[in-house]
Structure 1
């Protein structure tokens, strides 16, 4: 479960909050779409939950642990973040090594980590990328590899920032099917309303860093006034 209590956070480390007084609760096993226009605070919220964006006031909890320096190692084992920019996540010489990296950091042996990485590359239908360097991949291939790397760590919570970006229609369908097969709690930031509907049961709408709406995704996406007001339509 994830919960924020009047959370205000800044992405650039300054005093101006990109997320303001946010109270949001996402239950265990819930798949929640995080919707909002550019600059609404979606990425900042995800970064703050992982201790990567400074919390100015209020607090956040991940699996009952307050997001604080003393808990970050445990939180990062329980929750995995897929960055909006895949280049921030792929830095090893090959994709196989990238996917194995996070698993090995959990304490598994090198051999076990590589075996797990190969299994997950197969699940994501990207085994053909195993020996390729990240810089030689398309943006869509990088995105799939980055998501695979997080999934291979088997986190209880997955935070995905624009996971469908750079994917073609077939890639989006395949990713949706895969995400729907995962039992984990998921918060999925996206501008793609069709993709959100295909993978999420609920939604939270951010506008100017504040929570504008929360509810069933069908009801949220059917509210034309809300979508227009929050620059989503």
Structure 2
């Protein structure tokens, strides 16, 4: 299987705190990989290293056989869609203006922008009437759909989602999980999902990477983690999840 990102023996510290400890990981192209684990385990830091927002103290982060730190980062990041937990929308822009911002900056023709916007509206089931509303006038679920459309506007090679549903209430989160699964299936693209919710990771991802204290404890399928835990932490993390019974059923 072809790897789009190759992470080899990476360590990253902030002062005296080591956020990532000797991590090696290959991310398969065209698959959904979920980085899971408790808060502060290094998930988001690993994502930032892949984005080039942080640079490793030791080790190598490669994108399609090139060191990320050696790439033209502006052009590289145009190949990566990135959605954060709060959406990160510009409050003084309408939904439409947020979505098309980078396409306009790069000089896309107006008709091409309109065609891509229509594709994304259909993909995410976003109401057309919401395009001219400011972020403060949108619901939490609508804001995240706008953030997702903005991340997909440039037709990126990879989509990074950093706790994209963490701030939403249960019902909206459930609906968006369902929609995201359908979107991933339609796009057939490489996705990296960061979450602390194991049930969400299992539902959305093809490959699970469980982290703790800056390192990878185990990776693979849920069934392996349930029946062949690599460390006592794996079992502790699974049993701490509210949806453990559902996950156990899926692992059978």
Deviations 1:10-53 (A, max 9, x none): 5xx54533112110101111211111100011111111211112
Map of 1:109 onto structure 2: 109
Map of 1:136 onto structure 2: 137
Distance 1:101 1:221, change over 3 A: farther
Q: Which has the larger radius of gyration?
A: 2
1:6 aligns with 2:1: no
Deviations 1:173-213 (A, max 9, x none): 12221122221111111223232222211111110011111
Measure the CA separation in 2 of the matches of 1:196 and 1:176: 11
Q: CA deviation at 1:226?
A: 4.0
Q: CA deviation at 1:227?
A: 3.1
Alignment of 1:26-41 (within 5 A): 26-41=27-42
Alignment of 1:175-186 (within 5 A): 175-186=180-191
Extract unaligned runs of 5+ from structure 1.
none
Measure the CA separation in 1 of the matches of 2:114 and 2:226: 41
1:46 aligns with 2:53: no
TM-score, normalisation: structure 2: 0.81
Contact 2:20 2:46 in 1 (8 A): yes
Map of 2:234 onto structure 1: 227
**In the alignment, which of 201, 207, 211 is matched to residue 212 of structure 2?**
207
Distance 1:222 1:153, change over 3 A: farther
Question: What secondary structure, in the 3-state scheme, does the structure 1 residue paired with 2:161 have?
Answer: strand
1:97 aligns with 2:97: yes
Contact 1:164 1:195 in 2 (8 A): no
Question: What secondary structure, in the 3-state scheme, does the structure 1 residue paired with 2:18 have?
Answer: coil
TM-score, normalisation: structure 1: 0.87
1:196 aligns with 2:190: no
Measure the CA separation in 1 of the matches of 2:144 and 2:221: 27
After TM superposition, the structure 1 stretch with the greater mean CA deviation from structure 2, 62-71 or 40-49, is 62-71
Contact 2:177 2:204 in 1 (8 A): no
Measure the CA separation in 2 of the matches of 1:198 and 1:180: 12
Measure the CA separation in 1 of the matches of 2:101 and 2:226: 38
Question: What secondary structure, in the 3-state scheme, does the structure 1 residue paired with 2:17 have?
Answer: coil
Aligned residues: 230
Contact 1:32 1:202 in 2 (8 A): yes
Q: CA deviation at 1:91?
A: 4.9
Question: What secondary structure, in the 3-state scheme, does the structure 2 residue paired with 1:26 have?
Answer: strand
